[in-house]
Amino acid sequence: MNSRRPLLGWLLIAPSLIGVTAFLILPVILAFVVSLFRWDLLGTRDFIGLDNYASLLSSGALVNSLVVTALFTLISVPVSLALGLVLATRLVQALPGSAVVRVIVVIPWVCAPLALGVVWKWILQPSVGALNQILGVRIEWLTDPSLALPAVAFVAIWQNVGYISLFFQAGLSKIPTSIYEAARLDGAGPWQSMRHMTIPLLRPTTFFLAVTQVVASFQVFDMVFALTGGGPQHRTEVIASLVYHEAFTTSNLGRASAVAVILFVLLVVITLIQQRYFARRITYDMS
């Protein structure tokens, strides 16, 4: 079936192979190497072994950013999945007008997180912000240390719910309506069918979304940069913000690379766990 043409094969993949090697594989190796050096933008390049990792751990910056990222993930992923599911169950009813809403709710997803962050920073401004003006209050949404992270998570949820609902809509449309009729004749209410049929049958979709959203929220940067820049008091300093600040604010590229390496290892572990779990769960798939 396949034609055997070694030279042509290598010729066709050559450009992408150069790209993958030079701009993905080499940088990852380089990140490991640089993380072992005291390396700044002025030319210092001293080998210091694992000192960067040690100083990150002892300064508390790394632990803080891991905790912040984990909290951000724990707030934003479950809430956006739950809201996305609710929205999807309403959208698949295909009532007149829902086609328009289906398009509207995906709009935030195509917009730059950076631009959305700037818009929301303005909406959440204490004095001239639209939200406080509507509510008639003066709340420091983004500068109060206890409110900043929930506020950032809220904006991330706001951006993703519509996109997530697309996947649930696709999953829901594969469930045959006949089983709902059968359940209704057996006396099951809407909540019971949701709890005992819809949610279990959507498990592959939910699982896929949970994994991709967790991986994405471990990398969040643009939105945090625009909304808070990592503050107040590092309360929103996610892992990617820490990488950026170490590298380009304090000019400590070695420490920044050490944080990047830790993030990379974390993401590989998450992905591997997910794949083992997926392999076991795949039997639930309806298709």
Partner 1 sequence: MPTTPDTAMPPSQGGPESTGVPRSARRGSSAGRSSGSRARRSGPASMQARALAGYAGTYLVLALAAVLTLGPFLFSVMTAFTSSQQFAQQGPLAIPAPPVLESFAALFAPSAGPDGFLTPVVVTVQMVAVILVGQMVFSVLAAYAFAQLRFPGRDLLFWVYIATLMVPQVVVVVPLYLMMSEVGLRNTFWALVLPFVLGSPYAIFLLRENFRGIPTELMDAMRIDGAGTLRLLWHLVVPLNRPIIVTLVLITVVTHWNNFMWPMVITSGPEWRTITVATSALQSQYNNNWTLVMAGTTLAMLPLVILMIAFQKQITRSVGNTTLR
Q: Which of positions 137-166 make contact with partner 1 (CB under 8 A)?
A: 158, 161-162, 166
Please tell me whether residue 135 binds partner 1 under the rule CB under 8 A.
no
Please tell me whether residue 16 binds partner 1 under the rule CB under 8 A.
yes
Please tell me whether residue 219 binds partner 1 under the rule CB under 8 A.
yes
Phi-psi category of residue 136: left, alpha or beta, with phi > 0 → left and psi -120 to 50 → alpha: left
The answer to whether the CB of 223 falls within 8 A of the CB of 156 is: yes
CA distances from 246 to 35, 94, 145, 284 (A): 12, 50, 21, 44
Please tell me whether residue 172 binds partner 1 under the rule CB under 8 A.
no
The answer to whether the CB of 53 falls within 8 A of the CB of 258 is: yes
Contact with partner 1 (CB under 8 A) among 78, 138, 264, 273: 264
Please tell me whether residue 257 binds partner 1 under the rule CB under 8 A.
yes
Phi-psi category of residue 38: left, alpha or beta, with phi > 0 → left and psi -120 to 50 → alpha: beta
Which amino acid would we find at residue 202? L
User: Which candidate, 17, 25, 202, 240, places its Cα nearest to that of 114?
Assistant: 240
Which amino acid would we find at residue 95? L
Stretch of residues binding partner 1 (CB under 8 A), selected from 59-67, 69-77, 111-119, 143-151: 111-119
Please tell me whether residue 176 binds partner 1 under the rule CB under 8 A.
no
Please tell me whether residue 178 binds partner 1 under the rule CB under 8 A.
no
CB of 167 to partner 1, least distance (A): 6
Size of the site for partner 1 (CB under 8 A): 99
Q: Which helix (H) or strand (E) holds 47?
A: strand 45-47
By beta-carbon proximity to partner 1, the closer residue of 10 and 277 is: 10
User: Which candidate, 208, 227, 225, 124, places its Cα nearest to that of 164?
Assistant: 208
Contact with partner 1 (CB under 8 A) among 171, 202, 213, 217: 171
Contact with partner 1 (CB under 8 A) among 145, 176, 189, 200: 189
19-38: which residues touch partner 1 (CB under 8 A)? 19-20, 22-28, 30-31, 34
> What is the CB neighbour count within 10 angstroms for residue 278?
14
CB of 146 to partner 1, least distance (A): 23
Helix axis angle, 253-281 to 26-34, nearest 10°: 130
Contact with partner 1 (CB under 8 A) among 42, 49, 134, 276: 134
- Which 8-state DSSP code applies to residue 232? S
- Read off φ and ψ for residue 286, nearest 5 degrees: -80, -25
CB of 89 to partner 1, least distance (A): 9
By beta-carbon proximity to partner 1, the closer residue of 50 and 268 is: 268
Annotate each residue in 87-106 with x if it binds partner 1 (CB under 8 A) or - if it does not, as one string. Answer: x--xx-x-x-xx-xxxxxxx
Burial class from Cβ neighbours inside 10 Å (0-12, 13-18, 19+) for residue 5 reads exposed
Please tell me whether residue 279 binds partner 1 under the rule CB under 8 A.
no
Please tell me whether residue 82 binds partner 1 under the rule CB under 8 A.
no
By beta-carbon proximity to partner 1, the closer residue of 108 and 234 is: 108
62-81: which residues touch partner 1 (CB under 8 A)? none
